[in-house]
Chains A and B, each alone.
Chain A
Amino acid sequence: DSGVTQTPKHLITATGQRVTLRCSPRSGDLSVYWYQQSLDQGLQFLIQYYNGEERAKGNILERFSAQQFPDLHSELNLSSLELGDSALYFCASSVSPGAGGLTDTQYFGPGTRLTVL
C-alpha cells in the first residue's frame, strides 16, 4: 500500500459526459501528479500540483482540468468524454516539487480505470 488513495476504482460512462476522479496523496506529500495510461500511448504525464498551485502541464487536453485543494487532495475533471479517453488514470504523490533537479520517489495510487462507451 503506497498510502495514495484514488476513487473510484472503476468508472463506466458514455461519450459526452463529465466525470471527476479523486486522489488523496500520502500524508506529508505536497506534490500531486496525474498520469494517463492508454494502450496506444503508454504512460503520459498530464499535470502536476504542488501545495495547491499548478506546477507543470504535460499532454493534458483542454477538456481536462484539475485542482488541488487546501487539504492537498486533488481532483481531475474530464469533460465531453470521447471513446479515446478510455484509460487508466494514475495519481502519484511526492514530498518535493521536483524543482531544480530535486527529485524524489513518486508513490502511485491504484489508479482509476475509465471506460467510455
Chain B
Amino acid sequence: KNEVEQSPQNLTAQEGEFITINCSYSVGISALHWLQQHPGGGIVSLFMLSSGKKKHGRLIATINIQEKHSSLHITASHPRDSAVYICAVNFFGGSQGNLIFGKGTKLSVKP
C-alpha cells in the first residue's frame, strides 16, 4: 500500500526555535511536496523536490531517496509560521500526477 507518514502530529514551539517536521513514504516516488495549510483553510505549495535540498527564506526541505525520507526545517520560527504542514508525494507506477497526502503536522509557535 502506498503510504505517507508524518511526524510529529502536533508541535508547539517558542518563537525563535529551530523546527523539524519529518515525512517518510513506502515506495518509489517521482516527487515529494511540502504544503502549508493556513488556519483559514487555504493550501500553499512550499516545495517540490525529487532529490537533494531546497531553501526558501527560513524554510529548508531535504529529501533522502534511498531512505525514503524527507524533512522540512524552519529556522528562527515565528508565530506567523503557525499552520498545518502537509507532506505529499507522487508515487511511481502510474500515469497519474495526483498527490497522496500525509495526515499533516499542526505547528503552533508561541511568542
A residues lining the B interface (CB < 8 Å): 2, 31, 33, 35, 42-45, 48, 55-56, 58, 88, 90, 92, 94, 96-108, 110-111, 113
Contacts and interface: CB of A to CB of B under 8 A. Distances in A.
Given A43-B86, A43-B101, A98-B90, A106 B45 contact: yes
Contacts of A44: 101
Contact of B94 (A56, A106, A110, A111): A56
B97 A98 contact: yes
B43 A33 contact: no
Contacts of A92: 43
A96 B45 contact: no
Given A43-B101, A90-B43, A110-B41, A103 B95 contact: no
Contacts of B98: 33, 45, 48, 56, 58, 98
Contacts of B95: 55-56, 97-100
Given A56-B95, A56-B96, A101-B30, A42 B101 contact: yes
A48 B44 contact: no
B43 A108 contact: yes
7 contacts: A31-B97, A33-B99, A48-B97, A98-B96, A101-B92, A104-B97, A108-B42
B31 interface: yes
A2 B44 contact: yes
Nearest to A34: B98
Contacts of A96: 97
Contact of B42 (A45, A55, A106, A110): A110
A45 B91 CA distance: 13
Given A31-B97, A56-B94, A58-B98, A105 B30 contact: no
B104 to A, nearest CB: 7
Given A55-B95, A98-B98, 12 more contacts: A2-B44, A31-B97, A33-B98, A42-B104, A45-B99, A56-B94, A56-B97, A99-B97, A103-B90, A105-B45, A110-B41, A113-B41
A78 B101 CA distance: 23
Given A98-B97, A106-B99, A111 B41 contact: yes
